[in-house]
Structure formats: structure tokens, C-alpha cells
Amino acid sequence: MLALASLPVAAPAAEGAWNGSLALTSDYVLRGISQSYGKLAYQGGLAYHDRAGWYAGTWASSIEPFPYGKRSVEVDGFAGYAWLIGQHWNARANYTRYATVFDKRRVSYDYDEVSVSLGYEDRVAASLSWQPDSTGYSLLGYAHRRPSWAWELSGRQPLAHGFALTASAGYYDTRQLYGAGYGAGSLGLSFARRHAEVTVNRFFTNSIIYRLFDDATADGEWVASLVLRF
């Protein structure tokens, strides 16, 4: 789950508004990699949107980052602008600061991300993200403050009675970090009723990710999540 998942992409509200979420997930998977080492993660976020389309907020999750597996907390701060293009299309420009607190690792793994996205209603969205100062560890070595890119496509097809099919696919260009990039995606089913949503996702990755993160990969993993929005 990403911080932006709780943000609307339709027309800005007539008045400024707050919204938030609380979530429990069997595994926190980000771009094909388990951030909680296959364990339960607790998550929550809060955001403010003004009527002009500007927004800002924060989102947090418990994590056990590869390769140490020691419990800590990811705290993200984000801000951006969302707008409509015609009747059905929407766009967003976003900045996120990813930070880790209670982290016992000797170096900081905090980084920045700038992204742009284009969507059709709430059905399909494509995004491009740039991380100018990524720091990470893989089985191919350690990388400190190097750039990386992410191209992602996601889709949602509503069904009857609150159900929806979901899918995502992305390519993550980590060649300047580790000398190799990889692909990952997911297929899922969600059920929403009032302020609650339950999702089940199956994650997929290509074989290159095993060379990078071994048992931290989410390839073939089923993940169930419960989200409460307010």
C-alpha cells in the first residue's frame, strides 16, 4: 500500500477537507519487496486537501527492512497537486519524503521521491517516479544516495455488490544502485462497504529480483489487508 492510495484523484472538494485511514495488512509489500519480512504490518495516514487541488499529509507503517529484520517504523510526508483534464482524465504531481524512525542501522536509508501520474477516472493510472538519492542494500552490494526510477501502471474494474478486480505492473530501474533492474506486479480482489475495504492480492516478480533481495521478495505471495477510512 502506498501513501497516495487514500488520496482522491477526481475533482477537488468544494471546501478543504481532512481524510485518513487505518490499516492492518498481512505483509507490507512495496514494488515487489516485502518491507515487513512477510509479517503483519500496522499502517495509518492523514491528509488535508484544499479546494484548489493542493494536498499534504503523512503516512506510517511498521517495517522490518531487508536484510536486518529489526522492527522499525517508516514515516512518509507527502505534498502535491491534483487536477482534472476534461471530464474523465486526471493528473497529479507529488513529492514524498520517505523516512525511517527507530532504525538501528548505522546509515540513514531516508530518501526523496518526485512523481507524476495520469489517470482515467478511478479505473486506470500510469505513473513515473524518480528517487534522486536512494540508499539500499541488496545481495549485489550496498548503494548510497544514487538515483533510481519507477514506471508503474495500475487498474481497477468495479464489479457488483462492492467488489472490484485490481491489477498493477511496474518496472523498477535500480541499475545505478545494484547494476540490475526488475519487474513486479499484482492481481487482486477487493470488497468495499461504507468506510471499510478488504483486499486480497497475489504478487508476482521476475527472476532478477531474487538476485537482489532473495527471501525478501514477494513473488507468489498472497497478502490480505483491511483498511478503515475516515
Give residue 209's domain range.
Answer: 3-229
CB neighbours of 227 closer than 8 A, spacing ≥ 6? 1, 6, 21, 22, 23, 196, 197, 198, 199
Q: How many domains is the chain built from?
A: 1
Q: Enter the C-alpha cell of residue 84.
A: 482534472
pLDDT tens per residue across all 230 residues of the chain: 444 444 444 444 456 799 999 999 999 999 999 999 899 999 999 999 999 999 999 999 999 977 666 789 999 999 999 999 999 999 999 999 999 998 888 888 999 999 999 999 999 999 999 999 999 989 998 999 999 999 999 999 999 999 999 999 999 999 999 999 999 999 999 999 999 999 999 999 999 999 999 989 999 999 999 999 99
CATH of the domain at 61: 2.40.160.160
Q: What letter represents residue 196's amino acid?
A: A
Q: Is 21 exposed, middle or buried (0-12, 13-18, 19+ CB in 10 A)?
A: buried
How many CB atoms neighbour CB 113 within 10 A?
19
Q: If you search the block for the grid coordinates 515487513, which residue do you land on?
A: 36
Q: If you search the block for the grid coordinates 471546501, which residue do you land on?
A: 15
- From CA 213, how far away is CA 172, in angstroms rounded? 14
What pTM did the predictor assign? 0.91
